[in-house]
Structures are given as structure tokens and as C-alpha cells.
Structure 1
Amino acid sequence: MSQPKFRRSLVAVAITSVMMMPAMAQQADTAASDEFKGLERIEVTARRKTENLQEVPVSVSSFSANDLEEVGVEDITELQQRVPNATIQVSRGTNSTLTAYIRGVGQQDPLWGFEPGVGVYIDDVYVARPQGAVLEVFDLERIEVLRGPQGTLYGKNTIGGAVKYVTKELTGYNELSVQGTVGSFNQRDLKLSGQTALSDNFFVGGALASLQRDGFGEFRNTGEENYNKDLMTGRLSAKWLATEDLSVKFSYDKTKDESNSKGGHRLVTSLVTGQTPYDNVYDSNTAMPTDNLVETEGYSMVVDWDINANWGFKSVTARREGYTNTNIDFNSTGEPIFMVPAIYEDDQTTQEFQLSYSNNDNFDFVGGVYFYDGEACGVFGTVLPMYLAALGGVTIDNGGCVQTDSVALFGQGNYRFTDQLTLTLGGRYTKDEKEADVSRITYLGVHYVNRDDQNIGTPFAVNSDFTTKADWSRFSPHVALNYKLNDDMMVYGSYSNGFKSGGVDMRADQSLNPTISEPYDPEIVDTFEVGMKSELMDGMMRLNASVFYSDYQDMQVTVQRVVPSGVSSQVLNAGQATVQGFEVESVIALSDTFNITAMLGHIDAEFDSVVYTEPATGDTTDVTNAWSFANTPEWTGSLGFNKTFDTEVGQIVWSANYSYRGKTQMFEAPSMLDQGSYSLVNTSLVWYQNGGNWHVGLHGKNLTDEEYRVGGYNFGPTFGDDAIVAYYGDPRTVSLTVGYKF
């Protein structure tokens, strides 16, 4: 137990030391200090307008395309190492489904019907489903991670925060770049991007990426690759400058992921086969096909109109679609014990109208109306060939659709009483309507929902077959007051409210719980935050910090148990909790060529009350003192540096980062899956040719080859065997990237 405490203390001391380095900086070379130009200005759109990061009373981390290129970030999950109090990782046994938590709030169950707690946005378009939301980093302007409820400007399902993926803007300049990467496990990536002007007022651009990698392990009984990558993604865009004040941008993106389904690492010996846990955590066995397909695509049109010097109008019209066909073997023994084939389909159409005003003096405002029309459908089977073997096994199929219609009216304004004091007031009224069709059928025999040649089961019982409706409305206010102590320091205090939409349990079994057709209500978070944003030491140091307190109400608690007819599930508004903590982010420029970055996050999340009722017996169970927050380590931190060397043949940028993550509980109840504290070490060396045409990057990640779990399944003794399997983050990798810009 002493090692985690030592590591946590070491990180805290190291980061504190970095933040207290004025004396070191003042001892830097005098000539370098005289030439120092100051830290780069960072612009964000956290409040639906372009602002200086240091002037926004919101906890937000921003990463530019250049920042991510220098450290070799491949997808958004790597931001977890650089954002305080955040969990951003691949969900359980999937390749491209996202699990996101910020400040203890999120959603780890990707089943249709459940809503995320952290909103993901591609430009201004909300991505409703987690499938395909592990976004690859390419053709990018920046990524912003907003922490805390964002309900006023971003709406429902952002009670933990929001991740904004901002694509590269079309400028009309002729650009073409090609980049190739080779690396460990036969990594071979190719990225192409470019843009041009077809006329003085019509620009087009596009990007394409092929991302391939062999598996970190294999399915030993079949020889198939495990944890491989086989992904294609692309984007097309066009921009029409109709007049000096009016522009229209069209965008299209598509991603196709055909990586194999992931096999889990068994943590216990199989009671059926005697298989002991493999030494290589990336090796597994499977009794299912490893075929997997995740496709997502989206279309959008954005109209920007500067009506006059004070007023502006913006329209965002978008449609997104997704399809998933996958297989998960929960036992991972090679014997057909507990298997789940699944199909997910979703589509969404959104329309947002924004109206903005600024008198360029002491008042600005943005408001509008938002419409959402979406349907999420799916079907999955719990296939148990060895259960009741005399009857040919048993299969329990769950299926159905959720139709969601939502409309919201929002507005937020900033009034500057003086050059130092600004008041922000905002609010959003949302009306949600949902209709769900739910079915649950028990078959005798094997019934694969995604394989026609295996649909040989005979229907035996209808456990659920119902349609239910519900609607909710909610007003989410926001108020903030920020005060500039001087040109270099601003302090602020804020209150924010947000909610995650209610829904219906798509695993519902009416035969066990006749009232399970009743929808569960939204969950609500009220957050109070006090923060500081500062630039110190004549612009050589940026130090941002915040302290927050959240009242978490009507938490949607999912309770699953193994029963003779399969897995029984219920979702209840059974939880109340208190979440509090602090976050610190800093960068220090010891010279124009040497920066040190640091981050530290602490969170204390406790359940105040969690009580639920057993549907079969009516008995009340109080697990308040037995449960803890999932995917919420108490401490997160990182320490890194960036050093630039000027040479006759160009610039060489050397960077390194050490990140720490405290003990993490995978689910609310403690289990073998829980991950102890761990640290990751990464380093990169990138050469940029004079003139900017060529660049070559060497990137090493997880250099100490740390084994760390990012998810798993825990069903205990299930149908004759223990189904306790874990999924792991990437091992040590080294890659070489070569890029050329024409």
C-alpha cells in the first residue's frame, strides 16, 4: 500500500515544485530572457464565441493540432493523460466506443437507451451515441475539454463536461500534405489532407486516413489477432463565401472500423476448461467469430451571417448515422459458455439557430433554439449453449428502439460593469420526449442475432414486450462573476446546473419485474466553482486553478444480477452524492525554447445515499457505504517538458511527459477488476525542416510497458463458470512518422 502513496506524493511534490519555479526562471540566461516573446495566446470557443482562454470563467483545457502532433497523439483517449479529473478511454471490449467521465460524472454502459454524461461535439454538432466516438486525430484545428456542467450552452447530457473536436478551417490557400507512420506491432498509417480554392469565393478540402496495426496479442485457439486496428476514416468539406458577410460550409465525414472484436483477459481459472490466466494480458480465447464492424457518418451545413457590426446569425444543420455489428465472448475460454452478439443502429437529425449580439463595449449575448430528432435501435443476444444443454442451450434476446425528440431554448449574456468586473447570466429550457419499444424473448437453442446461419433457436417465452412513453422538462441556469485583479490575473466564481436525460432500461424483464416498463428520470448536477486564471512572471508562466463542489441528485443506478433466465437488470434513480475537488494546470516558459507543463487534479466523490429495491422479493438494499464512484481516481497528475533546438537543417523539438493515475474502481461495487495506481511515461523527438515542408517524428509511449486495466466484465459464477475478464490499455509502442507539406 506504500507504493501508491509514494507515487502520489512524488507527483504532487514535483508538480508543486514546477509551479513554484520563479526563482529558477529568473536565473535563466539574460539574453534569452530579453528575447522572450511570452506564452502563445490560446483561443477557445467554450462559450460559443472565440475568446482568449485566460479570459473565460470556465475550466477548459485546449490542445492545438501542433501540440498533438509534437507528442504523437493518435486519438482522443490519449488526452486522459493530460486533463485533470478526466477518464477518456475505449469502452470495455470495443475498439471505438467511448467511455468518458469528468469530475466523477459519465456513463460507461454503451447500450442504446442510455445517455452519455460527457457530450462529444464535432465542430458544433452533438454526437449522441458513444459508438464510433473514439475520434482519430487528423485534419484538426484543436480539441477542447470543458469540465463541469455545460447545460446552458450545450444542453442535456453534458453534466460532466464536453469534448469539442474542432476540424481544420478552410482558408482557400493551396495545401496538400501526406504523412506516413510505421511502428510497433506492424503499425502502418497513412494520412492525406489538402484544400484549394475553386474560385475567389468557393473553397474545398478533404482528408483521408488509413490506420492499420497488428494485434497486441492473439486468440490462441483460433490464431486470430487480438487488439488489432483496421480503420478507414475521411472527411470532405466545402465553403462558399456568398458575400463579405455571409458564408456557408458543408461537411461530410465517414469512419469504418473493421478491427477484430476484443477478447478479454481472464482473471481467474475457468471452472469448465481449467484454463488459467495467460501471462500475456492481450491473449485470449473465443468461441465466437471475431468479425466486427462499426460505421459512422455525418453531414452538416453551417451558415454564418454577420448581419451588421453588432448582430450575427448562425445556423447548424446536421445528420449523423451509426451502425455496429459486433461479438463479445464474456468467458473467453474458447468454449461456448456465455456469448453476446449484438447489432446497434442509430440516426440523429439536429438543427440549431443562434443569434449573437455585441455592442463592443460592455455587453454581449448568444442565444437560440435547438432541435433534436434521434432514434437508437439495437438487438443483442445472451447465448448460453452449455446452459440447459439437454435442451440445446438457451438464448435470451433483447431488442427495441428509443425515439427521442427534444427542443431547447437557450441564452447567455455577459455584462461588464467595469473593465474589471463582469457578470454572466444564462439559462436553457429543454423539453424531452421519449418513446421506447422493448422486447425480451427466451429461445431454446442457439440464436445469433447477427448470423442468419445460426438462428436455429425456438421461441420459448416472451419475457418483455411493451411500449412506453415519457417526457421531461428542465430549466438549467448558469451564473458567473469574474473580476480582473490586474492585466495578468482573473478570479471567478460560478454556479452551473445540468442534467442527463431519463430513459428506459432496454434490458427490461417484465417477467421478473412487472413495473420495469416505467421510465427512469433524469439525473441532475448542481456545481459551484471558484477559480483563478493568471499569467505571471512577465508572461513566462500560466497558472490556472479551480475548486469545485457538486451536488449530484437522482443518479441513474444500474443493478444487474444473474438469474436462471439470464441477466436481470433495472435502472433506478436511487443515488445521491457529493463530489468536490480541485484542478491545477500550469505551463512555464524558462525561455523561448524550453517549456515545462504540469497538471494536478484531486476529486473526493462520495455517495450520500444509494438505496434500491429487489424486484423479486421487494427487499430494500442500502449500498451507500459499500459502493464507490466508478472510473474516478482520487488523484490525477502529469509533468512534462518541451525543448526546441535550432539547427542548420531545421528545428528539433524534444518533449516528454509523465502522467499519474490513482486507484480506479471499474464499477460501483469493488471487484477484482479494480485498477491500482499507475504511471505512464512518453517521449517524442520531432524534426521540422527549415521552410516547413518536411517533418519527422519519433514517438515512444508507455516506455515502462505498464500493464493497466481500462475496463472489464464481472459476472462472478455465471452459468457454471466465472466470467471475470479485463481489458487493457496499450503496451509500450514506438513509431516513426514522416510527413511532407506541399
Structure 2
Amino acid sequence: MTCTPAVAGDGPTKPDNSNEIIVTAQKREERLKDVPVPVSAIGGNALLAVNQTRAQDFFSSMPGVNLQFVNNRAQLAIRGITTGPATGNPAVGFTIDDVPYGSSTGQGGLFGAAPDIDPSELARIEVLRGPQGTLYGASSIGGLVKYVTVAPDTRGFSGSVGGGLNMVNYGGQSLGYNARAALNIPLSEDTAIRASVFTRRDAGYIDNIRTGRDNVNSSNVTGGRLSALWKPSSSFSLRLSALYQVRDLHGSPSVDSRTGAPFQQTDQIGAGPSHSEVQMYNATIKARLGRVDLTSVTAFSRNSNSDRIDFTASPLTAAVFPLVYPAASDFGHVMMTGYSVDKVSHETRLSGTLAQSFDWIAGGFYTREKANYTIDSAATNPLNGAIYGYPVIWRDSATYEEFAGFANITARLSERFDVQLGGRWSRNTQSMIHREWTMLEPDPAPAAHRETNPQASGNAFTFQVSPRFKPTPDHMIYGRVASGYRPGGPNAGCNTDPAEPVPCQFKPDRTINYELGAKGDLLNRALSYDISLFAIDWRDIQVTQVSALGTFTYNSNGGKARSRGFEISLEARPTDRLTAKMWWSYVDATLRQGFASAVLYAAPGDRLPYSSEHSGRFSLDYEAPLRDGTKARLGISATYVGERKGEFVPSQAEAPLRQSYPGYVQFDINGALNFGPWNVNAFVQNLTDKRGLIGGGYYNQTNFNRYWFNLIAPRTVGLSLDYSF
């Protein structure tokens, strides 16, 4: 997919007279059309132009990518490789400047949620489809998302300020806003710093008719970043970066279909709010050692979040609460969860060229994570929110440690043909201390206590083989066989109770991707194309099950699944002023083996959750010069998301009730005026006010309420103003 480039000063850019984009998908700079990997990319400025400022907005227009929600956070599924949003270990990996983001396991509570970084600090986002286990390691069995931030620039003083307002349908008088500022300061010829801050309020549009609060799903995000670059010579550079961000969601984004009115909910008093913080500190050294390039990336990150979820519809509420509190006539159930992950990671890699015919890269990787997970399951009075007590209290502490070594070599057998070979070996160890209590009253000491200490370990070898043929400099045909690995792990509530058995470990799962693709330009680069055919075999798939009483979820393994399909992207530039883009994705992601337990059922041939069989997007952008140097731009787009299936059901008898999400089309319009350093953008998102379903419904493992759904945002209109200097 041809994409928007990074802006000047952000790192690699496209040449002035071409549509070429430079990406780092394979940990080295390459033209997008030369990379034998299906990659989509978009620049931060392009995201701001159309007001795509949230994580869920970033990926709405990427081929083969589907959005899921869990605990108020956006998750991704790429090419259908998912068994649901709450499945323990992430299937899509994320990096920020080559630093792994989030937890490698589900015990960190982030469940593979996408980082919500303001696009003003992004040079670009790269989305790599298919397993990326060789260069990027565990938990990228479906694909990888790379965030590339804006680097300090020693060439001159610069900066920008900007902000905007928006109004969402059904939000009443509630306004959303954003404001941002960035400053780049050269301290000397070889040193520069860049500092930035931003704040954003997303207006709410869902009313809670139980509590009487309007627009409860509004949210605030505030953050900043500081980066310093020291480059004393062309052969050495040191870059230090610090990122901090805090996000507060004031209420759940779920709506209750029983109310009979759009965008209303019935969440319990005290449920809905969510708070998260992200800190990341990293140091990157690049050095030229003779004929070898060295890159060293060391980082520390701390991610934490807390949620208050309405669990009233869970089996635990009906089965246990009346027995524990016989004097109460009605119950609410507010589950208060907390997660935190401290993560240290380091990677050193070397690269070079041998005999002018072999390009190579080799390195080592280490990470250690310390995660804490808490649950306070509160029995509440639904009339006033008063707490009767805490029938379930969990305190988990988990560690994850991994060592890995990897190598990749490209053998240029002729000027037109080369072959890439790569491998990665890794070993991980995991341990957990799980404690649980029951506290029948709000204040006294816990009345009961149980402790387990499950552990797990494993090693894996992943590989990739990619032959590449270039009949001309403007065309490339490639094949790709690549594997991915996701570690298994321990289960917190493991036991040998025959009435509710929970395994103490679950196994890793693996994918192998077979791909044939082609990229290139036609008609003197007036038309670009990117086509890929793929088949992914997935075995020992990890699935999440719910305990019989609905007290907790745990992980286990199913059998085999398969995803097959194609992706086609085209970009046409019939004139210098007009650009037309389209992509279409077909993904047939199904189970090859069914599974059945006391609480989960799926049959061979069942569709994997949340994957669209068909999806696509078409957009037109027209830019025209006006007098006095002013430029005007107008863009329109239509995005189609096909029908999807929800999570697997508890039993064969309930298979006909499995949730379906109808397909929908979202239309967006945006326009801009650029005059010198000033830029004015206007936009309308979801022009026709479509109510597309993207989650919830029957057997949702995060809320158990078949009447609760997540929808795309209603029609949103906004205006922004930016000044650059």
C-alpha cells in the first residue's frame, strides 16, 4: 500500500519527485516497494489532517486489520489471527522506536492493547501483516505495528502549535478538543533536543439512565515527550527519549440494546471509569565500526491501568452473591481491576555486507517483566452503589524473562534476484504467585485465603525464507514463508477441583505464513500496486475460557485454525492534483479442528472471532493552488467493514446464538487550507451517522451481558488550526 511519508526532519522521507516511501520494517531503511513483507504505513501529519487522533482511528483504514475492544481499550487482529479480545497473550506485537511495548503475556492486563500516542509525535506508523517472529520475536504471530517517533533535528530551530474542536452527534453541548505544541532546539552542530506536550478530550455521547449521568464515555488524554540527539560524527549517534502519557475514561463505551433508544447504557453505580498511565525511557546508540553497523536499544517502561467493570450479568452474581448475602434483595457487581507492568529490554544488533553479495544482520535480545494484577469483586447495592463486601479478591504477581538470538542474511544471486534467510531462537521462563481471599464485609480482615505458584517455560525457533525477483527497478515479485511463536504460560487460578478444573499451564501456539506478493509502479509511476496472496496455518491455538461460576478467565489450547486470503492496494495519480487510493482485503479465517469443554464450544469450519471476510476502502484527495500561495485540499473516503462473528459460545446448544456483527460502510470528508505556516483542517467523520457494531453481544467474556454492544462513534464534525515555524 502506498502511503503518506514522514515529514522533513522526521527521518527518512520520500524523494521530492516520486511516491517512494522509506520504512524500517526489516530493521534497516528500505523503499517500501522493495520490502518483501506486506507493509502499510501512514505519517503522523496525515493522521492529524483527518483527525485520526485515537488508537482505534489509526487502524480503521489498514488492509487486513480488524478492531476489537476489551476493558475500554483498542485491540487489533491482523489477517484473522485471534480467538477473541480477552485471550491471554497478545497476537499482535507493538514497538515504539524498536522498543517492545506492553506485556508479552496477558498477565500484564494490557491484553495487547494498541498504544494511544498522539500523532503529532509520530513520523509514521508501519503495520506489518503476517508473522514477524524472526526479527521481532514472541507475540507477533499475526503481525506487528511499529510506531516511529519524530527525532530531534540538528539542522535548525523549529516548532509547531495547534489545536482543534469537535462535536459528536448525541453528545449534546459536549465538545471535544485537542491542543499540542512541539519545539526542536539545536544546541550545537551535533546536538539537538525536541520537546512536546499534548492534551485531548474526546467528547462523550452515551448516557447512563441508571445513574442519570450524560456523556459518560468522554475521556481525557494528556502526555509529553522529551528526546535528545547527540551526533558528533557521521559514524556515531546517541538518542535518548522519555515518554509519559495518562488517559482517563470516565465511563464505559457500551450501550444497552434494551433501552429502546440509541446510545444509552445501564451500567451499575461505580462502574465504568478507567485510568491508565504509560512511561517509557530508552537509549539508542548507532555506530559504524569499520564495515559493520552497530545498533543498541535499551529501554525501561512502566504501564499501569485500572478499570471498574460492571460484572452484574456474570454467573457469579446469581450463583454466589445471594448465598453470601441472604438479607439483600438485589445485587450489582462492580469488578475493580488493576494492572501494572515494569519492563526492561535490551537489543544489540550488528549489520553489514560481505563480498558485495551478502547483506546480513545478527543480534541478541533480552527482556524481563514484572507484572501485578489485582481484582476486587464488589457486591453492591444497585440503588445507591453501597458495597456489601468482596466475595472475590485476587492478588497476582508474575514475572516473564526471555533471551533470544537472531540472524538474517540476504544473498544477492544476481542484479534481479535475491533470497533472504532468517532464524531466531528464544527461551522464556515464567512464574506466578496467585493469592485469593473472600471478604464478606467491607472492612474486616479477609476471612479465607488460598495461594498457588504456577510456573512455565519454553523455547522456540522461528524462521523466514523470502525469495525476491525484480524484473525491472519499478517492479518486484516475492515469496515468503515465515513462522511466528506466542509463548504459553501459567494460569492464576489453577486447581485440581473436578467440579471446576483449571490447568496450571497452557501451551505456546505457532503460525506459519505462506505468501506470494508483488509491488511496483506503472505508467511512469502514475499507478502503484501492492498485491499479496497468503495462507496461514495456526496450531495449538490459545483460547480463553471462563470458570463455571464466572469467577475468572483462564487460558487453554484448542487445535488448528487456518487463515487464507488476498490483499490488493492501488494508488493512482492521474494528475499532480488528484490522488485516488483503494484497497480490498479478503480473509477466510476458520477453525480446522473444533473444541468443546464445560464452558466453551466451537466446531470445525467456524469463523474466527472479529475477522471480516471482506473489507475495503476507497478515497479521493484533490489539491489545488489558490492565489497568493494558498493551497486547498479536499478528501473523501468510504471504508467498508464486512460481517464478523463474535466470540465462541459456551455449548453446542448455544451455537445458533453466536453473535454476528453486520457489515457497514463509513463515509468521511476532510478539507484543508494551507497558507504559509498556517494550516486549517475541517472534517466530518461518519457522515451518514452509521451505527456500526464492533463488539459486545452474546457471550462477551468481559461483561457477560448479551444486550451490551460497542459501536463506532456517531457523526463527528470538527475544525483544527496549526502553525509551524
TM-score by length of 1: 0.85
Q: Which residue, 393, 396, 399 being the options, matches 1:397?
A: 393
How many residue pairs get matched?
A: 671
Shift of 1:320: 0.4
Shift of 1:612: 4.2
Correspondence 1:601 to 2:591: no
Q: Is the 8 A contact 1:438 1:508 kept in 2?
A: no
Q: Name the residue aligned to 1:583.
A: 567
Q: Name the residue aligned to 1:624.
A: 603
Q: Name the residue aligned to 1:526.
A: 512
- Paired AA for residue 345 in structure 1: S
Shift of 1:510: 5.3
Q: Name the residue aligned to 2:20.
A: 41
Shift of 1:613: 4.1
Q: Name the residue aligned to 1:322.
A: 303
Q: Deviations 1:237-285 (Å, cap 9, x if unpaired)? A: 0011133311100000011112213152223xxxxxxxx4241225444
- Residues 351-360 or 422-431, more deviating: 351-360
CA distance in structure 2 between the partners assigned to 1:332 and 1:469 by the alignment: 32
Q: Which residue, 134, 140, 161 being the options, matches 1:158?
A: 140
CA distance in structure 1 between the partners assigned to 2:281 and 2:388 by the alignment: 46
Q: Is the 8 A contact 1:524 1:553 kept in 2?
A: yes
CA distance in structure 1 between the partners assigned to 2:498 and 2:300 by the alignment: 38
Correspondence 1:541 to 2:527: yes
Q: Deviations 1:611-664 (Å, cap 9, x if unpaired)? A: 24449xxxxx86324843111110110000111111114111111110001111
Report the secondary structure of 2:370's partner residue.
Answer: strand
Q: Which residue, 117, 134, 139 being the options, matches 2:116?
A: 134
Distance 1:344 1:542, change over 3 A: same
Shift of 1:186: 0.5
Q: Is the 8 A contact 2:41 2:124 kept in 1?
A: yes
Q: Name the residue aligned to 1:666.
A: 646
- Paired AA for residue 137 in structure 1: P
Q: Name the residue aligned to 1:636.
A: 615
Q: How does 1:246-285 map to 2 (within 5 A)?
A: 246-262=236-252, 264-267=254-257, 276-285=258-267
- Residues 566-575 or 678-687, more deviating: 566-575
Q: Name the residue aligned to 1:683.
A: 669
Q: Is the 8 A contact 1:444 1:458 kept in 2?
A: no
Q: Name the residue aligned to 2:347.
A: 352
CA distance in structure 2 between the partners assigned to 1:663 and 1:83 by the alignment: 17
Shift of 1:561: 4.9
Distance 1:393 1:128, change over 3 A: closer
- Paired AA for residue 475 in structure 2: M
Shift of 1:704: 0.9
Shift of 1:327: 0.5
Q: Which residue, 187, 196, 202 being the options, matches 2:185?
A: 196
Identity of aligned residues (%): 22
Q: Which residue, 217, 226, 231 being the options, matches 2:221?
A: 231
Q: Which residue, 713, 722, 730 being the options, matches 2:713?
A: 730
Q: Deviations 1:579-623 (Å, cap 9, x if unpaired)? A: 1100011100011110100010001111111324449xxxxx863
Correspondence 1:702 to 2:686: yes
Q: Is the 8 A contact 1:70 1:653 kept in 2?
A: no
Report the secondary structure of 1:534's partner residue.
Answer: strand
CA distance in structure 1 between the partners assigned to 2:570 and 2:540 by the alignment: 35
Distance 1:141 1:718, change over 3 A: closer
Q: Is the 8 A contact 2:527 2:570 kept in 1?
A: yes
- Paired AA for residue 254 in structure 2: G
Q: Name the residue aligned to 1:305.
A: 287
Q: Is the 8 A contact 1:509 1:568 kept in 2?
A: no
Distance 1:252 1:107, change over 3 A: farther
- Residues 412-421 or 59-68, more deviating: 59-68
Distance 1:367 1:585, change over 3 A: same
CA distance in structure 1 between the partners assigned to 2:698 and 2:397 by the alignment: 27
Distance 1:170 1:716, change over 3 A: closer
Shift of 1:559: 1.9
Shift of 1:347: 0.8
Q: Is the 8 A contact 2:433 2:453 kept in 1?
A: yes
CA distance in structure 1 between the partners assigned to 2:389 and 2:698 by the alignment: 22
Q: How does 1:382-393 map to 2 (within 5 A)?
A: 382-385=377-380
Q: Is the 8 A contact 1:44 1:53 kept in 2?
A: yes
Q: Name the residue aligned to 2:203.
A: 214
Q: Deviations 1:336-383 (Å, cap 9, x if unpaired)? A: 423211111111000000101125832211110000000121111333
Distance 1:132 1:574, change over 3 A: closer
Q: Name the residue aligned to 2:161.
A: 178
Shift of 1:722: 5.4
Report the secondary structure of 2:46's partner residue.
Answer: helix
Correspondence 1:105 to 2:81: yes
Q: How does 1:288-687 map to 2 (within 5 A)?
A: 288=270, 290-308=272-290, 310-331=291-312, 336-359=331-354, 361-385=356-380, 395-445=391-441, 455-456=442-443, 459-462=446-449, 464-508=450-494, 511=497, 516-563=502-549, 566-567=550-551, 569-614=553-598, 623-625=602-604, 627-649=606-628, 650-669=630-649, 671=657, 673-687=659-673
Q: Name the residue aligned to 2:319.
A: none
Q: Name the residue aligned to 1:115.
A: 89
Q: Is the 8 A contact 2:70 2:86 kept in 1?
A: no
Q: Is the 8 A contact 1:687 1:696 kept in 2?
A: yes
- Paired AA for residue 301 in structure 2: R
- Paired AA for residue 635 in structure 2: S
Correspondence 1:50 to 2:29: yes
Shift of 1:518: 2.2
Shift of 1:208: 0.6
